[in-house]
Structure 1
Amino acid sequence: MAIKLENVAIAVRDLEAAISFFTDLGLTVLGRDTVSGEWTDTAVGLDGNHAKIAMLQTPEGQGHLELFEYIHPEAIETEPTLPNEIGMHRVAFSVDDIDEALETAAKHGCRPLRGVATYEGVYKLTYVRGPSGILVMLAQELKKN
């Protein structure tokens, strides 16, 4: 059986704010739609499912991120995911310049949870709390001499 990862989907409080954050980091919007009806009720397992969605793509074209904002039923707010919590954890991106990526994130009010770390001289990386409390890992590969 062949299998291929299609996308990661994340429910957000404000679709426009989330799109702005991720497009400023370099993703592009492939498309937008509003979905509802029997097929979405069946697929998602939620009666009355009605949502605005946007599909984004990473610059190299391989990674896809689906963002969706519920119109109905009303979205349920929970505490933001903690780094050690079981379940959907974070979305991670490699970046050419972590300082530039953090400047971009800061324009959206998003800052590192603690700071920027260096992993064994290979990566500089950090987690930021993105829009709607999404954990976003940013990692810059360090050049070898």
Structure 2
Amino acid sequence: MPIALENVGIAVRDLDEAVSFFTDLGLTVLGRDEVSGEWADTAVGLDGNHAKIAVLQTPDGRGQLEFFEYIHPDAIETEPTLPNEIGMHRVAFSVDDIDDALAIAARHGCHPLRGVATYEDVYKLTYLRGPSGILVMFAQDLRKGASA
């Protein structure tokens, strides 16, 4: 059976804040909508499901994120996910320049959890908290641009 990843869905506190953060990083909005009705209740498994949504695509066209801001039922606040928790963990992005990506994130008040690490002179990487506490990883391949 052929299978393909459609997108990763993430519930957020503020849809506009999430869209602003990720579009500043280079993703583009494919569409925005408000969903509700019996089909939405059935698909998601929540009675009275009503949410604002936005679908964003990565510049390479291969990845999509779908964000939901719940109108009904009320969103449930949880503690931010820790890096060692079981379950949905993080969204990871390859970036050409980690310093540029971190400067964009900083304009949104988002900073590395601890700093930027270098893995075996191959990658620079870091985790940060994005909008609604989403864990976001940036990774810069240090081999790109190195002379052969």
TM-score normalised by L of structure 2? 0.97
1:107 matched residue in structure 2: 107
Distance 1:10 1:120 in 2: 32
In structure 1, the residue matched to 2:132 is 132
Where 2:19 maps in the other structure, the secondary structure is: helix
| Cα drift, residue 35 of structure 1 | 0.2
Query: 2:51 maps to what in 1?
Result: 51
Q: Report the Cα distance in structure 2 between the residues aligned to 1:80 and 1:74, rounded to whole angstroms.
A: 18
Distance 1:115 1:76 in 2: 30
Q: Which residue of 1 aligns with 2:34?
A: 34
Match of 1:68 in 2: 68
Corresponding letter in the other structure for 1:14: D
Deviation at 1:120, TM superposition (A): 1.2
Deviations 1:3-27 (A, max 9, x none): 0000000000000000000000000
Q: For residue 22 of structure 1, give the secondary structure of its aligned residue in structure 2.
A: helix
CA root-mean-square deviation: 0.6
1:7-26 superposed matches below 5 A = 7-26=7-26
SS in 1 for 2:26: coil
Structure 2 equivalent of residue 95 of structure 1: 95
CA distances 1:74-98 after superposition (whole Å, capped 9, x unpaired): 0000000000000000000000100
Q: Return the TM-score normalized by structure 1.
A: 0.99
Unaligned runs of 5+ in 1: none
1:141 Cα deviation from its structure 2 partner: 0.5
Residue 83 (structure 2) aligns with: 83
Identical amino acids, percent of aligned pairs: 82
Where does the alignment leave 5 or more consecutive residues of structure 2 unmatched?
none
**How far apart are the structure 1 equivalents of 2:47 and 2:120?**
48
- AA paired with 1:140? Q
Match of 1:123 in 2: 123
